[in-house]
């Protein structure tokens, strides 16, 4: 499986990858001029040691590349991991790249994430961010219909601007932003992916980005099973159904 559907129209697709758990082992042992041809129990213990002691640079020699289609509100949460990749403690990771569609050059049919009536959540009782339990279906239906009307108006204004000869990079101002789907390529080291997963699989992460994180985990775990087991909390490694 190389693609997993998320939300109503989104997905995560594994485009490419470089390396394996063995890559991590051999990167760590290069200073001793040693190399393993097959992953052994001794190699697994080395990966466990590297993760436990915070010797993280060997995990940056294994790479995964994804194509992601998600609402802008998810993309902007995700983007901060690229900005912070070289700065969070103990990494110095520069092996991270992000290329995103912008609608400056194309007028692709806009797509939007619109929660169904039963998918709206209440604000949390004891926090300024996040969400609580689902709201009443009737209230959710009201806001689903309101959002649909808002999106339809934005699309109409966007298309009218294009028809009037307004350039695409300005016409896009009429499109409602946070629910609009965007597409991007994300290339990151196994360490960076694990850092993202460790935070966005947490129970208090926004539900929508949790769903994308679960898809990323399902796609990458078979490629780097030992490394992911050591770098991501055990509670997050339970197989997910879609």
CATH number reported for the structural domain that contains residue 22 in this entry: 3.30.1360.170
Q: Write the burial class of residue 157 (CB in 10 Å: 0-12 exposed, 13-18 middle, 19+ buried).
A: middle
49 and 136 belong to one structural domain: no
In the prediction, which pLDDT does 220 show? 96
List the catalytic residues.
200
59 and 138 belong to one structural domain: no
185 and 168 belong to one structural domain: no
In the prediction, which pLDDT does 241 show? 46
In the prediction, which pLDDT does 201 show? 93
- pTM (predicted TM-score): 0.88
- Name which residue leads in pLDDT, 231 or 242: 231
Q: Is the per-residue pLDDT at 46 higher than 60?
A: yes
| Structure confidence by residue, pLDDT tens digits, 100-128 | 887 666 667 889 999 999 999 998 877 66
Residue 133 lies in domain: 117-174
- Where residue 37 falls among pLDDT bands split at 50, 70, 90? confident
21 and 39 belong to one structural domain: yes
| Structure confidence by residue, pLDDT tens digits, 178-209 | 999 999 999 999 999 999 999 999 988 999 99
Q: For the chain, what is the mean pLDDT?
A: 88
**Can you read off the two tokens belonging to residue 157?**
């204004």
- Where residue 143 falls among pLDDT bands split at 50, 70, 90? very high
124 and 186 belong to one structural domain: no
In the prediction, which pLDDT does 100 show? 81
Say how far apart CA 219 and CA 5 lie, in whole Å. Answer: 12
74 and 160 belong to one structural domain: no
In the prediction, which pLDDT does 242 show? 42
Determine, yes or no, domain membership for 242.
no
101 and 126 belong to one structural domain: no
95 and 192 belong to one structural domain: yes
91 and 202 belong to one structural domain: yes
The number of CA neighbours under 13 Å toward the Cβ of 31 is 4
Determine, yes or no, domain membership for 70.
yes
Q: Is the per-residue pLDDT at 92 higher than 50?
A: no
Q: How many domains does the chain have?
A: 2
Determine, yes or no, domain membership for 112.
no
Mapped onto helix, strand or coil, the DSSP state of residue 143 is helix
Determine, yes or no, domain membership for 198.
yes
- Name which residue leads in pLDDT, 129 or 25: 25
Say how far apart CA 6 and CA 20 lie, in whole Å. Answer: 26
167 and 192 belong to one structural domain: no
**Domain final residue, candidates 174, 198, 215:** 174
Q: Provide mean pLDDT across the span 155-171.
A: 94
34 and 140 belong to one structural domain: no
**Domain final residue, candidates 159, 174, 189:** 174
141 and 163 belong to one structural domain: yes
């Amino acid at each position: 499986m190389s693609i997993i559907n998320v939300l109503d129209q989104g997905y995560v697709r594994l485009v490419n990858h470089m390396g394996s758990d063995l890559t991590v082992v051999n990167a760590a042992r290069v200073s001793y001029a040693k190399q393993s041809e097959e992953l052994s129990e001794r190699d697994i213990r080395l990966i466990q040691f590297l993760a436990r002691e915070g010797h993280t640079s060997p995990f940056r020699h294994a790479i995964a590349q994804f194509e992601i289609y998600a609402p802008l509100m998810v993309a902007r949460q995700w983007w901060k991991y690229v900005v912070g990749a070289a700065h969070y403690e103990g990494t110095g990771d520069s092996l991270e790249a992000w290329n995103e569609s912008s609608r400056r050059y194309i007028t692709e049919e806009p797509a939007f994430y619109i929660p169904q009536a039963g998918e709206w959540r209440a604000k949390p009782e004891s926090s300024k961010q996040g969400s609580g339990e689902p709201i009443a279906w009737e209230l959710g239906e009201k806001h689903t219909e309101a959002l649909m009307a808002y999106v339809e108006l934005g699309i109409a204004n966007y298309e009218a601007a294009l028809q009037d000869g307004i350039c695409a990079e300005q016409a896009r101002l009429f499109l409602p932003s946070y629910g609009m789907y965007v597409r991007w390529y994300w290339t990151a080291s196994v360490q960076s992916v694990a850092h993202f997963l460790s935070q966005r699989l947490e129970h208090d992460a926004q539900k929508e980005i949790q769903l994308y994180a679960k898809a990323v985990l399902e796609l990458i775990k078979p490629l780097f099973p030992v490394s992911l087991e050591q770098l991501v909390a055990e509670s997050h490694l339970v197989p997910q159904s879609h």
